[in-house]
Structure 1
Amino acid sequence: MDSVTKLVSQRAVVIFGMSSGGMCHAATDMFRNLGVNPTVVELDKDTRGKEMEKALVRLTGRNPAVPAVFIGGRLVGSIDTVMSLHLRSTLVPILRRIGAILE
């Protein structure tokens, strides 16, 4: 749990997923198209992946817990939630407020 908490507190946008997960790639592409360089953690390639996955299940209440998106140190949820924020025009202001997108 500590490795997840520490990482999300140090980065503006963190996406946890699997290397073969299409939704993780979709989230990453969406953020990059907005001018954000998210930190992407592919749990199946990370040496602490199993430990982080267990922590994410506890944090999200979902199994599987990925993709899981954190913005400004807070769990936003899955790509569905992020896309919903974007479609409601609330995602970009959040990203600006935390400094992930410059004015």
Structure 2
Amino acid sequence: MPANKAQMGEISIKINIADRIYPLRIATEEEEVIRRAAKLINDRMKEFQDNYAVRDKQDLLSMCVLHYATATLKADDSSKQEDKEVAKKVHQLDELLSGFFS
């Protein structure tokens, strides 16, 4: 009989984002990254609040989502460009080696 998720290294934690508590069940190995993510969100909200005099938490959360979504898209685009460059170099190397061994 398969073990349930709680027996497979899951834990219950509470995360505070924008002064609201969110209970989560997560894999044990995800705890640190989730806590760091919540801290980043709260820190970014404070930065936006201080720099733009925005007080509404919904607006601050929306600004955070936009910030992190933009950063993610930029990282994805950069990664795809790097993948293309690597593929191009591998192709060039393959052609060079094919010519050498022909």
TM-score with structure 1 length normalisation?
0.28
In terms of Rg, which structure is larger?
A: 2
Select the structure that is richer in helix: 2
Larger RCO (CA under 8 A, 6+ residues apart): 1
